[in-house]
Amino acid sequence: MTGRNAGAALEIAVTSPAGARAALAHSADRVELCGALELGGLTPSAASVEAAAAVGPPVQALVRCRPGDFVYEAEEIALMAAEVRSVLASGAAGVVVGALTAEGVLDRDAVARLAEAAHEAGRDRGRDVEVTLHRAVDQSADPVATAALLRPLGITRVLSSGGAATAAAGLATLAEMAAAAPGLEVMAGGGVRLGDIPALLGAGVAAVHLSAKTRAEPRRAGTWTPLGTAGTSPDEDTHFVTDPALVAAARRAVDAAPGPLASRAR
């Protein structure tokens, strides 16, 4: 035992095949592919999933049909079940889903339906698929109790900040989630900075998720006109791209971090 964190995974949130390529080049274990990262992420197109999967890293496709809360109508759940099947048919290795009730507890019926759609699509293709519960867990009334419900519903992992604004601030809750849900991969995500990674992995999470993003340089020669609520100025009216240097630095930080046993021994 060297004290290094053997086996900890690094997941990078990307919005394009170029982002997947940058993640692969710097040894990320997998990517979460989404559209509209500026809105917290939405379901990517089937063509985008196909192109990112062709790049090489395992693609976890976000399935979220709209921005805003995670309380969905029956029609929205049906739409997302169809999107689950679509992104898996396009080559995704897994999906990232979630739903809550208006009372702030896990919508078990909706999550079970989305997970079953994923596993059914996998069986149709003769392969296993992974299902991640996304950060809806951080808007639930009790993230620890929510994590404990997930394995029987067919969920592989949970992405969480421990219910806090950042994963570093939710460190204690993340540790509780890992303890409360044996067999569930707890992945820390939400405002993760490079300096946070040793403490997160030391607390017992199995993976770290970050966007490693930077704003793309606007390329416009004409007059700027706002086209939506997100664009409040010419400089801000752009999109995010993956920064290869941040991916490489995150990989080094994950590989160098002591594991939970080493952290407790000190």
Q: What is the CA radius of gyration of the chain?
A: 18
pLDDT of residue 234: 78
- CB 165: neighbour CB atoms within 10 A? 12
pLDDT of residue 250: 97
pLDDT of residue 259: 64
Burial code of 176-210, b = ≥16 C-beta within 10 A, e = fewer? bbbebbeebbbbbbbebeeebbbbbbbbbbbbbbb
pLDDT of residue 3: 40
160's enclosing H/E stretch is strand 157-160
Beta bridge partners of 60: 32, 94
Please tell me the distance from the alpha carbon of residue 149 to that of residue 44, in angstroms, as a whole number: 27
Please tell me the distance from the alpha carbon of residue 144 to that of residue 135, in angstroms, as a whole number: 13
Q: How far is CA 175 from the centre of its chain?
A: 18
Nearest residue to 187 (alpha-carbon basis) of 242, 112, 116, 137: 137
Please tell me the distance from the alpha carbon of residue 124 to that of residue 77, in angstroms, as a whole number: 21
* Structural tokens at position 257: 């971090």
pLDDT of residue 27: 96
Burial code of 144-154, b = ≥16 C-beta within 10 A, e = fewer? bebbbbbeebb
- In the chain, what are the helix, strand and coil shares in percent, each to the nearest 5? 40, 20, 40
Q: pLDDT truncated to tens, each residue of the chain (266 aa)? A: 334 455 799 999 999 999 999 999 999 999 999 999 888 999 999 999 999 999 999 999 999 999 999 999 999 999 999 999 999 999 999 999 999 999 999 999 999 999 999 999 999 999 999 999 999 999 999 999 999 999 999 999 999 999 999 999 999 999 999 999 999 999 999 999 999 999 999 999 999 999 998 888 878 777 888 777 666 777 777 788 899 999 999 999 999 987 654 333 33
Report helix, strand or coil for 170.
coil
Please tell me the distance from the alpha carbon of residue 171 to that of residue 144, in angstroms, as a whole number: 12
Reported for 48-55, long-range contacts at CB under 8 A and 24+ positions apart, including other chains, are 48/16, 48/17, 49/87, 49/90, 49/91, 49/92, 50/90, 50/91, 51/17, 52/14, 52/16, 52/17, 52/19, 52/20, 53/90, 53/91, 53/92, 53/93, 54/17, 54/91, 55/17, 55/20, 55/21, 55/24
Phi, psi of 8 (to 5 degrees): -70, 140
pLDDT of residue 260: 56
pLDDT of residue 230: 60
33's enclosing H/E stretch is strand 30-33
Amino acid at 263: S
28's enclosing H/E stretch is none
pLDDT of residue 231: 63
